Amino acid sequence: MTRDCPGPRAERGARGCPRFSRELDAIGVDDPAVLRAMDSVDRSLFVPGERLDEASVNAPIPIGHGQTISAPDVVGWMTQALRVKAGAKVLDVGTGSGYQAAVLAALGCRVFSVEIVEALALEAAGRVEPLGVKTRIGDGSLGWPEEAPFDGIVVAAAAPRVPQPLVEQLAPGARLVIPVGPPGGLQVLRVVEKDAPGRVSWRDTLSVRFVPLRLTSP
């Protein structure tokens, strides 16, 4: 007997259940647009060749240089937490292999992605620039000032505190989603929101473990 897929029947992919549907459902990802975007991105294109058999597993995967590709359920949750729609301008900090940027592009966002590790940035550019993503090599904690403000900012590495330049580059009504906590320890996904008058509030959500956010200077 085959279990039915969670969610509306109209949201299923051609293969039956969309990619990672059960894992996304379990973590509370239910936005149809986010589910479609997650289903449309083949994760195997973003993992090292020797780890292709792990691409369909809901877990982080090392991609070299001390970095990882995040678990799909966390990518889906962070994407949904941004509350962005097609056409939104989004900053992706920590390009890595480009998986998060590709999901945002599939959602219809205008994506700007920053990676500090040059080798990873160059590899990822070849994957995501054909999708319309703009990339650069640099310190993601500084954002992308010349392209600000952003309708959403997502960070795929943990910082001990929220970098102020990222908060400053949020548009009114926008959200920043970032892991906050000690390197190597348990962290929390913090959702920072700037309201229309420019006041900033935040709330802590899921417990997570991310690699540390690398900086060009302490």
Q: pLDDT tens across 101-138, in order?
A: 999 999 999 999 999 999 999 999 999 999 999 999 99
Q: Are 105 and 131 in contact (CB under 8 A)?
A: yes
pLDDT of residue 12: 40
- Would you please indicate which residues are annotated as catalytic (active-site) residues? 70
7 in any annotated domain: no
**For the chain, how many structural domains are there in total?**
1
Rg of the chain, C-alpha, whole Å: 16
Compute how many other C-beta atoms are within 10 angstroms of the C-beta atom of residue 98: 30
- Answer positive or negative: Cα dihedral of 64, 66, 69, 73: positive
126 in any annotated domain: yes
**DSSP classification of residue 213:** P
191 in any annotated domain: yes
> pLDDT for 42-61, tens place per residue?
999 999 999 999 999 999 99
216 in any annotated domain: no
8 in any annotated domain: no
5 in any annotated domain: no
Q: What's the CATH code of the domain at 156?
A: 3.40.50.150
135 in any annotated domain: yes
Residue 182: give the domain boundaries. 17-208
92 in any annotated domain: yes
Q: Are 155 and 179 in contact (CB under 8 A)?
A: yes
pTM for the whole structure: 0.91
